Amino acid sequence: MSGALDWLAVGDVAEERGRDNSAILGGGAARLAAHAAALRARVSLVAKMGEDDAGRRVRDALERLKVDLRWLRSAPAMRTTVWHEPDGQPQRRRVERGADLALRLDEIPPLSVAAALTVVSGYSLSVEPARSAALGALSSARIRGGRAALLLEADLLWWTNARMVRRVLEPALAIVDSVALQAADARVLFGSVNAREAVRLVAAMGPRLVYLAEADGSVVLREGGRIHGCPADRSEGAPRDRYAGAAAFWVGLARRAPARKAASDSVRYAQSVRRAGPRL
pLDDT in tens, 174-191: 999 999 999 999 999 999
Mean pLDDT of 49-64: 96
Q: Which candidate, 224, 227, 164, places its Cα nearest to that of 195? A: 227
Give the HSE-up count for residue 135: Cα atoms under 13 Å, Cβ half-sphere: 15
pLDDT at 33: 98
Q: Is pLDDT at 91 greater than 90 in this prediction?
A: no
Per-residue pLDDT reduced to its tens digit, 134-168: 999 999 999 988 999 999 999 888 766 888 888 89
Beta-sheet pairing, 219-223 with 226-230 = antiparallel
Residues 6 or more apart in contact with residue 149 via CB below 8 angstroms: 117, 118, 119, 120, 176, 177, 178, 179, 180, 250, 253
- For residue 128, what pLDDT band results from cuts at 50, 70 and 90? very high
Q: Where do runs of H (alpha helix) occur along 28-129?
A: 28-38, 53-64
pLDDT at 213: 98
The CB density around residue 48, as the number of other CB atoms within 10 Å, is 27
Tens of pLDDT, residues 238-278: 999 999 999 999 999 999 999 999 999 999 999 999 998 99
- The yes-or-no verdict on residue 223 having pLDDT over 90 is yes
pLDDT band at 3 (very low <50, low <70, confident <90, very high): low
Q: Is the pLDDT of residue 204 over 60?
A: yes
pTM: 0.95
Helix (H, G, I), strand (E, B) or coil at 232: coil
Please tell me the predicted confidence (pLDDT) of residue 1.
38
Please tell me the distance from the alpha carbon of residue 253 to that of residue 256, in angstroms, as a whole number: 5
Would you place residue 18 in the very low, low, confident or very high pLDDT band (cuts 50, 70, 90)?
confident
